[in-house]
Amino acid sequence: MSGSNRNPILSRVAAGDAAAGVESVEVYGDLVWSLARRFSRSESDARDATQDIFRALWDAAPDYDPEDTREPLFVAMTARRLLLERRPAESTEPASYPPVERCAAGGDAAEPQLDDSEELAPVRHALAELPPERRRALELAVVGGYTHPQIARALDLPLETVQSHIRLGLLRVRAEMYAAEATASEPS
């Protein structure tokens, strides 16, 4: 499997393998594009963001540690960070999502959701096991792209509580992913 911990693409990019740069676009292009499209106001902005994200990924490749983070998660978090930095100062909401207050209140707005891919099954399982308030904060942050202060206002919680919910939720999700990966790599 390309992008696995055995021969991570980003480790090869860091080593100067030009083919790995092309492979990173092939393997992670859809992920990066979907995030860029979600956070951008237009298709043109999304194309520019996608190029910037891959440049940032290649620059960050030497910092990638496959023992620390799964490569797709590193790619997604790097992309999300860059997209949040690119967001215009006057914009307080992601371009394609309704106001966070409507999502948090369970209004008629479309809820941000993870796709149904098999690879995300451990993530969905870990989220289902979280207390509802912690799960909601984590979903709004990671899937919805909202900032911690926006989530604190929407959920009517102190900022520190939101930050704690997100940190503890991410730790739980990470543990589930590692457990699923360990189970999958056990000999039959």
**Residue 162 is encoded by which pair of tokens?**
């939101």
Give the C-alpha separation, 114 to 123, whole Å.
9
Element housing 81 (H / E): helix 71-86
Q: Is the pLDDT of residue 53 over 90?
A: yes
In this prediction the pTM is: 0.51
Residue 102 has pLDDT above 50, yes or no: no
Report d(CA 24, CA 147) in Å as an integer.
28
Q: What is the pLDDT of residues 14-34, one digit of tens each?
A: 999 989 989 999 999 888 888
Structural domains of the chain, ranges and CATH numbers in brackets: 1-96 (1.10.1740.10), 98-188 (1.10.10.10)
> What is the rounded distance in angstroms from the CA atom of residue 19 to the CA atom of residue 105?
47
* Confidence (pLDDT) at 54: 92
- Across 93-99, average pLDDT: 45
Question: What percent of the chain has pLDDT above 90?
Answer: 18
Q: Among the listed ranges 22-26, 128-132, 166-170, 184-188, which one has the minimum average pLDDT value?
A: 184-188
Judged against a pLDDT cut of 70, whether residue 79 lies above it is answered with yes
Q: Answer whether residue 78 shows pLDDT above 60.
A: yes
Distance between CA 95 and CA 108 in Å, rounded?
17
The whole-chain average pLDDT of the chain stands at: 78
Q: What is the mean predicted confidence (pLDDT) over 44-52?
A: 90
Asked if 74 and 64 touch (Cβ cutoff 8 Å), the reply is yes
- Is pLDDT larger for residue 48 or for residue 40? 48
pLDDT at 38 over 70: yes
- Across residues 34-41, what is the average pLDDT? 84
The C-alpha atoms of residue 22 and residue 4 are separated, in whole angstroms, by 16
